[in-house]
């Protein structure tokens, strides 16, 4: 067991974990952060995407011990004071989700993409979301939503009050 | 009505709920991670399961040593098929398509023999999922390998005499069933052999063989099941499309009374037919939980999902189309081999039969014969995948119409126009015996052709051909229809299906004015909570916000037949509309009584009962409160205006549409890229255009993926090679383009909503549109077919072979 201390969605947490424990398992099983989901076992689908120190990572591809000392933001920490993040708002407005299973990862990836490139082209959006699979939407409305969010104030701001980008 | 989809319209601009772009009620919990996936559920003391699976396609189990696993830390039990033999039940085949169908018994955990790689041979139960997986590695199974039946054609030909491998040697054959429809025998048309003979001597005969490759539904949420046997009932949560059918079959096959079983499908992350199954994993978890008296949970890995959740398609299609030299079709003969995999799945045997009525599509074939054999092999079982039988049929006929046009040297649109049913011919009884109630193929096609810029693209194609551009342009057409809205119960009965096709709904008028609605349809991404709220709000005249739709729990919505076959709206939505009408009818005498008027003087509009000619009125919500109090109401009626309804459709519904696809094919590398995709779908009355467009987009991509990327591949030993999402190529945003998806509306005449269903349309239509485009690009190179998926290698080889010929 290894002791880790980190900040998740603005809250400081500390636990003893097995070195083999994945960050996504730590989030789901130890912290009850079940908003982040597991869609595959080869880091192909991106459903588990979270922000680690302000940048998107596939949390199935990060060990919990690697997050020691880091700030993690999940989809559960993206809204600020009850107000949805512009990417969340845009996904709702443009019907960019159906079953919603890929949505947490897709939103976290889209938010990261817009933080790096506030005015992406459609091509850049499609390339930027390449690591996140959706089986329901055909991506059409996801791309629309991200285009819309790109023009919305606050999109590139820190995702959460205490757990935002460094 | 014609709507071209672009930016969503403002909600406030719309009068009435039907046809309104409501943003979804479901979204908030999904956007913020406050979801209830099955894998999130863990009652106190939950034990975790890991499955030990066969690495062999076909083998006898000669011994299982569980001692090391049993001794492993935190392991509670290791159970084999023999341990569970008396309690695990069997997995049912609900659709034996013939009375003499040959089907092996399917035990959830194999007892003495495994019939596909991935079959469960033992279940490890531990205090954590990690401990269960660790211990599963320690279970030592001895196998004696048996010859495996893998190739579909070889399997169909195998007999004990010729020494061909049998998937289940005790059955003596791999052929499960043969199912034939012949229009001459059915009295719905002529003799196809006559048509073929005539075409052979002085007409046109198109003979082709097409492969429908094996696909994997690949829903995003891996399957998961939790069983809690504590308390009076056994509760089973499952990532399933079919909680009601699951409950019935658990009871029927394990002997546990149905009333003692509650099945809940909480948030379910996609299905596409892939979760239209009763699974070995569910049955094993149910048996283990009952045996141990403790809650258990099993969540599959993606690799297990790709390996063991049912696959789809997998057919060989031998096709003969007869036509006259002027391009009029005269007959169609279909000879089909369908790969069932190792077991006859829940409705797997019937999937090709669903296609049997659709090969003739929108065309006026005077003679038709469909002859299908279902075949057992030592591969993962197959069953419904989005479209289920109808994509296969549509692919075949739409490819053939392009081949006929090529043979005639005519525009493929023109040949279709010559042969399709015209709008003034509806209702039209087809050569397959179905009655299409409504449609307008001319208008949908005209709109699509306009939006596509068909003539301009043909001109560009001609230019590129002339210039010998290494990147050629191809244009693909698919003018499809489908039968959906499953299904009239009597028709299902005549096809030997094991259940009905009705759907149930209930409306509970709560005293606070809120409206609680239950539906037996079980959503997994379709937006029932939103669309069904719109229907109820419209019919009852109550605010949309006041309607709450509950589903996916056999205790909350006890009657239902669940979600598949694009049935939720046409059958489930109609049940809801009928229930709403009953609420209004029940509330009317209350209104008359409270308003001191005669019932015949009471009018109902926009949620309010009024006395004709006066301004006085009571809303249906006010009456709900009056009925709750029940202080003052007429003699002879019950103190409730709640209502329920069960709707059994009288016919299928028949959405249709015209899909046009342009691709660019690099003739030097074989790479295909999408250039433009336009579709105009007629799905009848649209309740929510935003949801409909989303269904079409997603459907398109699954169909496009079959054309270009996806295939489940096995090696010669029966091992699945495409066992991860790195190998099974579900497309990403970077592989795709934006679509121009519009809809028209010729209302269905067989339900009061006028709805036709949209869940499968995009998938059914798009595959042939894309392949037709690829082949169209390469016709100058002597190419007449490219096998799916049209990978760069296959396209390149087709060019080399075509050019050499």
pLDDT for B75 equals 98
| CA separation for the pair B317, B320 (Å, rounded) | 10
Contacts of residue B275, defined as CB under 8 A and 6 or more positions apart, other chains included, come to B217, B219, B223, B239, B240, B241, B242, B268, B524
Cβ atoms of A102 and A38 closer than 8 Å:
no
Residues A103 and A122 in one domain: yes
Residues A8 and A71 in one domain: yes
Rg of chain B over Cα atoms, rounded to whole angstroms, equals 28
Cβ atoms of B331 and B419 closer than 8 Å:
no
A47 by Cβ neighbours in 10 Å (0-12 / 13-18 / 19+) ranks as: buried
| A28 neighbourhood in chain B, CB within 8 Å | 40
Contact residues, B window 666-695, toward A, CB-based 8 Å cutoff: 690-691, 693-695
pLDDT tens track for B210-237: 999 999 999 999 999 999 999 889 999 9
Q: How many CB pairs under 8 A join A and B?
A: 179
CATH class of the B502-647 domain in this structure: alpha beta
Reference B298, options B227, B381, B249, B235; nearest CA is: B227
Of all helices (H) and strands (E), which one includes residue B583?
Answer: helix B574-594
| A33 neighbourhood in chain B, CB within 8 Å | 33
Residues A6 and A63 in one domain: yes
DSSP H helices, A11-135, are 23-25, 86-93, 103-116, 122-128
Q: Given A34, A41, A78, which is nearest B302 (Cβ)?
A: A41
CA distance to partner chain A, nearest, from residue B655 (Å): 20
Does the distance separating the beta carbons of B733 and A137 come in below 8 Å? no
- Please, what is the average pLDDT of chain A? 93
Is A63 part of any domain? yes
Other CB atoms within a 10 A radius of the CB of residue B173 amount to: 17
Residues A26 and A47 in one domain: yes
| CA separation for the pair A99, A87 (Å, rounded) | 17
**Helix (H, G, I), strand (E, B), or coil: what is residue B365?**
coil
CA distance to partner chain B, nearest, from residue A140 (Å): 5
Residues A71 and A20 in one domain: yes
| B39 neighbourhood in chain A, CB within 8 Å | 34, 37-38
| CA separation for the pair B635, B71 (Å, rounded) | 72
Does the distance separating the beta carbons of B734 and A130 come in below 8 Å? yes
Pick among A31, A38, A80, A140 to test the B interface (most B CBs inside 10 A)? A140
Is A142 part of any domain? yes
| CA separation for the pair B279, B276 (Å, rounded) | 9
Cα–Cα distances (Å) from B339 to B215, B248, B405, in that order, read 12, 27, 31
pLDDT for A165 equals 33
- Please, what is the average pLDDT of chain B? 96
Contacts of residue B409, defined as CB under 8 A and 6 or more positions apart, other chains included, come to none
pLDDT for B15 equals 65
| B740 neighbourhood in chain A, CB within 8 Å | none
Pick among A45, A100, A128 to test the B interface (most B CBs inside 10 A)? A100
Is A166 part of any domain? no
| B222 neighbourhood in chain A, CB within 8 Å | 38-40
**B336: which strand partners?**
B317, B372
**Helix (H, G, I), strand (E, B), or coil: what is residue A114?**
helix
C-alpha triplet A102, A107, A112: angle, nearest 5°: 130
Contact residues, B window 239-298, toward A, CB-based 8 Å cutoff: 267-270, 272
Cβ atoms of B642 and B590 closer than 8 Å:
no
What interface predicted TM-score (ipTM) does this complex get?
Answer: 0.97
Does the distance separating the beta carbons of B35 and A100 come in below 8 Å? yes
Contact residues, B window 691-720, toward A, CB-based 8 Å cutoff: 691, 693-695, 697-702
Asked if pLDDT for residue A158 goes beyond 50, the answer is no
CATH of domain B1-35+443-486+652-805: 3.30.365.10
Contacts of residue B478, defined as CB under 8 A and 6 or more positions apart, other chains included, come to B394, B398, B658, B659, B661, B765, B766, B767, B768, B769, B772
- Closest chain B residue to A27, measured at CA: B40
Q: Please indicate if any CB of chain B lies within 8 Å of the CB of A12.
A: no
Residues A68 and A98 in one domain: no
Res. B717 pLDDT band, cuts 50 70 90: very high
| B29 neighbourhood in chain A, CB within 8 Å | 100
Domain assignment of residue A50, given as a range: 2-77
Pick among A22, A41, A80, A138 to test the B interface (most B CBs inside 10 A)? A138
**Helix (H, G, I), strand (E, B), or coil: what is residue B475?**
strand
Is A126 part of any domain? yes
pLDDT tens track for B5-58: 444 444 444 468 999 999 999 999 999 999 999 999 999 999 999 999 999 999
Determine how β-strand B435-436 pairs with β-strand B428-429. Answer: antiparallel
Cβ atoms of B29 and B35 closer than 8 Å:
yes
Per domain, the residue ranges of chain B are: 1-35+443-486+652-805, 502-647
Cβ atoms of A22 and A64 closer than 8 Å:
yes
Other CB atoms within a 10 A radius of the CB of residue A51 amount to: 28
Of all helices (H) and strands (E), which one includes residue B274?
Answer: none
- Closest chain A residue to B733, measured at CA: A126
Is A160 part of any domain? no
Contact residues, A window 39-68, toward B, CB-based 8 Å cutoff: 39-42, 44-45, 47
**Helix (H, G, I), strand (E, B), or coil: what is residue A5?**
strand
CA distance to partner chain A, nearest, from residue B725 (Å): 6
Q: Given B39, B269, B736, which is nearest A100 (Cβ)?
A: B269
**Residues listed for chain A:** 166
The four Cα atoms B117, B122, B124, B130 give a dihedral, to 10 degrees, of -10
Q: Please indicate if any CB of chain A lies within 8 Å of the CB of B48.
A: no
DSSP H helices, B309-373, are 351-356
Q: Given B8, B27, B270, which is nearest A101 (Cβ)?
A: B270
Q: Please indicate if any CB of chain A lies within 8 Å of the CB of B524.
A: yes
| B526 neighbourhood in chain A, CB within 8 Å | 98
pLDDT for B805 equals 78
Reference B51, options B358, B365, B304, B223; nearest CA is: B304
| CA separation for the pair A100, A47 (Å, rounded) | 10
Of all helices (H) and strands (E), which one includes residue B429?
Answer: strand B428-429
Is A105 part of any domain? yes
Q: Is B681 left (phi over 0), alpha (psi -120 to 50) or beta?
A: beta
**Helix (H, G, I), strand (E, B), or coil: what is residue B69?**
helix
Does the distance separating the beta carbons of A127 and B734 come in below 8 Å? yes
Find where tokens 């009435």 sit: B16
| CA separation for the pair B587, B633 (Å, rounded) | 11
pLDDT tens track for A52-67: 999 999 999 999 999 9
Reference B39, options B246, B302, B231; nearest CA is: B302
Q: Please indicate if any CB of chain B lies within 8 Å of the CB of A97.
A: yes
| CA separation for the pair B783, B801 (Å, rounded) | 8
| CA separation for the pair B414, B669 (Å, rounded) | 32
pLDDT for A152 equals 77
DSSP code, position B22: P
- Closest chain A residue to B691, measured at CA: A95
Residues A13 and A72 in one domain: yes
Other CB atoms within a 10 A radius of the CB of residue A101 amount to: 31
Cβ atoms of B544 and B534 closer than 8 Å:
yes
Q: Please indicate if any CB of chain A lies within 8 Å of the CB of B10.
A: no
- Closest chain B residue to A18, measured at CA: B130
| CA separation for the pair B278, B225 (Å, rounded) | 11
Is A165 part of any domain? no
| B270 neighbourhood in chain A, CB within 8 Å | 98-99, 101, 135-136
> For residue A27, what is the domain's CATH number?
3.10.20.30
Q: Please indicate if any CB of chain A lies within 8 Å of the CB of B73.
A: no
| B23 neighbourhood in chain A, CB within 8 Å | 92-93, 95
**Helix (H, G, I), strand (E, B), or coil: what is residue B445?**
helix
For the segment B156-165, the average pLDDT, to the nearest whole number, is 97
Does the distance separating the beta carbons of B221 and A101 come in below 8 Å? yes
Tell which wins on pLDDT, B350 or B805.
Answer: B350
Residues A16 and A73 in one domain: yes
Quick one: how far is CA B647 from the chain centroid? 20
Greatest CA separation for chain B = 89
| Measured distance between the N- and C-terminal CA atoms of chain B, rounded to whole angstroms | 49
Number of domains composing chain A: 2
pLDDT tens track for A82-98: 899 999 999 999 999 99
Residues A91 and A144 in one domain: yes
The pLDDT > 70 percentage for chain B reads: 98
Residues A97 and A40 in one domain: no
For the segment B308-318, the average pLDDT, to the nearest whole number, is 98
Does the distance separating the beta carbons of A126 and B733 come in below 8 Å? yes
Contacts of residue B513, defined as CB under 8 A and 6 or more positions apart, other chains included, come to B542, B546, B621, B622, B624, B625
Is A163 part of any domain? no
Does the distance separating the beta carbons of A35 and B32 come in below 8 Å? yes
Residues A16 and A68 in one domain: yes
| A131 neighbourhood in chain B, CB within 8 Å | 732
Q: Is B383 left (phi over 0), alpha (psi -120 to 50) or beta?
A: beta
Rg of chain A over Cα atoms, rounded to whole angstroms, equals 15
| B690 neighbourhood in chain A, CB within 8 Å | 95
C-alpha triplet B749, B751, B755: angle, nearest 5°: 85
Contacts of residue B498, defined as CB under 8 A and 6 or more positions apart, other chains included, come to B92, B94, B95, B96
| A37 neighbourhood in chain B, CB within 8 Å | 35, 37, 39, 221, 269
| Measured distance between the N- and C-terminal CA atoms of chain A, rounded to whole angstroms | 28
For the segment A134-155, the average pLDDT, to the nearest whole number, is 92
Contacts of residue B781, defined as CB under 8 A and 6 or more positions apart, other chains included, come to B667, B798, B799, B802, B803
CA dihedral over B539, B540, B541, B543, signed as positive or negative: negative
Find where tokens 């009584």 sit: B593
Contacts of residue B792, defined as CB under 8 A and 6 or more positions apart, other chains included, come to B669, B670, B671, B672
> For residue A126, what is the domain's CATH number?
1.10.150.120
């Amino acid at each position: 067991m290894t002791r880790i201390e980190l900040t998740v969605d603005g809250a400081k947490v500390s636990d003893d974990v097995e070195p083999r424990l994945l960050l996504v398992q730590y989030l789901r099983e130890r912290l009850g952060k079940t908003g982040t989901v597991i869609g595959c076992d080869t880091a192909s689908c991106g459903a588990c995407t979270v922000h680690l120190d302000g940048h998107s990572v596939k949390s199935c591809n990060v060990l919990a011990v690697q997050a020691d000392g880091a700030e993690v933001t999940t989809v559960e920490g993206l809204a600020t004071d009850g107000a949805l993040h512009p990417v969340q708002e845009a996904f709702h407005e443009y019907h960019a989700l159906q079953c919603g299973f890929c949505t947490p990862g897709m939103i976290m990836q889209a938010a990261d993409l817009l933080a790096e490139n506030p005015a992406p082209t459609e091509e850049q959006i499609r390339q930027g979301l390449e690591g996140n699979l959706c089986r329901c939407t055909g991506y059409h409305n996801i791309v629309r939503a991200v285009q819309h969010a790109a023009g919305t104030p606050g999109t590139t701001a820190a995702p959460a009050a205490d757990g935002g980008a460094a | 009505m014609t709507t071209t989809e672009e930016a969503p319209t403002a909600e406030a601009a719309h009068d009435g709920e039907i046809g309104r772009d409501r943003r979804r009620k479901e979204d908030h919990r999904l956007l913020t991670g406050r979801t209830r996936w099955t894998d999130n559920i863990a009652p106190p003391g939950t034990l975790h399961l890991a499955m030990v699976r066969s690495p062999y396609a076909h083998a006898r189990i000669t011994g299982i040593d569980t001692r090391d696993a049993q001794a492993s830390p935190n392991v509670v039990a290791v159970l084999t098929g023999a341990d569970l033999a008396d309690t695990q039940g069997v997995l049912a085949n609900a659709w034996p398509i013939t009375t003499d169908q040959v089907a092996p018994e399917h035990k959830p955990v194999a007892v003495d023999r495994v019939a596909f790689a991935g079959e469960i041979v033992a279940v490890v139960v531990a205090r954590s999922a990690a401990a269960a997986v660790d211990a599963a590695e320690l279970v030592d199974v001895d196998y004696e390998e048996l010859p495996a039946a893998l190739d579909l054609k070889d399997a169909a030909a195998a007999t004990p005499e010729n020494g061909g491998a049998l998937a289940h040697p005790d059955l003596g054959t791999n052929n499960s069933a043969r199912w034939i429809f012949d229009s001459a025998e059915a009295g719905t048309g002529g003799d196809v052999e006559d048509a073929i003979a005539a075409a052979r001597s002085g007409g046109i005969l198109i003979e082709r063989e097409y492969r429908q490759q094996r696909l994997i539904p690949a829903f995003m949420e891996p399957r998961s099941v939790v069983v809690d046997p504590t308390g009076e009932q056994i509760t089973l949560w499952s990532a399933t499309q079919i909680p009601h059918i699951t409950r019935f079959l658990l009871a029927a096959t394990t002997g546990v009374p149905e009333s003692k079983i509650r099945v809940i499908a909480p948030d379910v992350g996609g299905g596409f037919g892939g979760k239209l199954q009763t699974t070995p994993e569910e049955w094993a978890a149910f048996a283990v939980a009952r045996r141990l008296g403790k809650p258990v949970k099993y969540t599959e890995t993606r690799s297990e999902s790709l390996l063991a959740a049912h696959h789809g398609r997998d057919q060989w299609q031998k096709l003969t189309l007869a036509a006259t030299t002027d391009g009029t079709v005269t007959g169609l003969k279909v000879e089909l081999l369908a790969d069932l995999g190792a077991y006859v799945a829940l409705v797997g045997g019937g999937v090709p039969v669903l296609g049997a009525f659709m090969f003739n599509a929108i065309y006026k074939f005077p003679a038709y014969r469909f002859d299908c054999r279902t075949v057992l092999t030592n591969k993962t079982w197959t069953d419904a995948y989005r479209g289920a039988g109808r994509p296969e049929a549509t692919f075949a006929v739409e490819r053939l119409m392009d081949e006929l046009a090529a043979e005639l040297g005519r525009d493929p649109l023109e040949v279709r126009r010559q042969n399709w049913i015209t709008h003034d011919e509806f209702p039209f009884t087809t050569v397959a015996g179905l009655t299409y109630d409504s449609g307008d193929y001319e208008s949908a096609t005209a709109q699509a052709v306009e939006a596509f810029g068909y003539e301009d693209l043909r001109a560009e194609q001609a230019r590129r051909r002339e210039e010998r551009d290494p990147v050629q342009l191809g244009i693909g057409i698919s003018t499809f229809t489908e039968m959906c809205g499953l299904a009239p119960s009597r028709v299902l009965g005549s096809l030997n299906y094991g259940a009905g096709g009705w759907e149930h709904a209930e409306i509970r008028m709560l005293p606070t004015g809120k409206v609680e609605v239950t539906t037996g349809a079980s959503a997994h991404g379709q937006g029932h909570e939103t669309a069904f709220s719109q229907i109820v709000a419209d019919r009852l005249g109550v605010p949309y916000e006041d309607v709450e739709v509950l589903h996916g729990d056999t205790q909350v919505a006890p009657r239902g037949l669940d979600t598949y076959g694009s049935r939720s709206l046409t059958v489930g939505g109609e049940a809801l509309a009928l229930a709403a009408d009953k609420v209004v009818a029940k509330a009317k005498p209350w209104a008359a009584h409270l308003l001191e008027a005669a019932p015949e003087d009471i009018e109902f509009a926009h949620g309010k009962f009024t006395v004709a000619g006066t301004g006085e009125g009571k809303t249906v919500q006010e009456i709900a409160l009056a009925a709750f109090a029940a202080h003052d109401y007429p003699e002879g009626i019950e103190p409730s205006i709640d209502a329920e309804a069960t709707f059994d459709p009288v016919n299928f519904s028949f959405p249709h549409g015209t899909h046009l696809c342009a691709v660019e094919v690099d003739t030097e590398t074989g790479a295909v890229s999408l250039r433009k995709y336009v579709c105009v779908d007629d799905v009848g009355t649209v309740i929510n255009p935003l949801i409909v467009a989303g269904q079409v987009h997603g459907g398109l991509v699954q169909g496009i993926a079959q054309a270009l990327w996806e295939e489940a591949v096995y090696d010669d030993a029966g091992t699945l090679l495409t066992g991860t999402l790195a190998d099974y190529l579900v497309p990403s945003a970077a592989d795709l383009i934006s679509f121009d998806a519009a809809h028209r509306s010729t209302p269905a005449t067989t339900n009061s909503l006028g709805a036709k269903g949209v869940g499968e349309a995009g998938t059914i239509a798009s595959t042939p549109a894309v392949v037709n485009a690829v082949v169209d690009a390469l016709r100058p190179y002597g190419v007449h077919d490219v096998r799916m998926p049209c990978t760069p290698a296959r396209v390149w080889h087709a060019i080399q072979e075509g050019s050499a010929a």
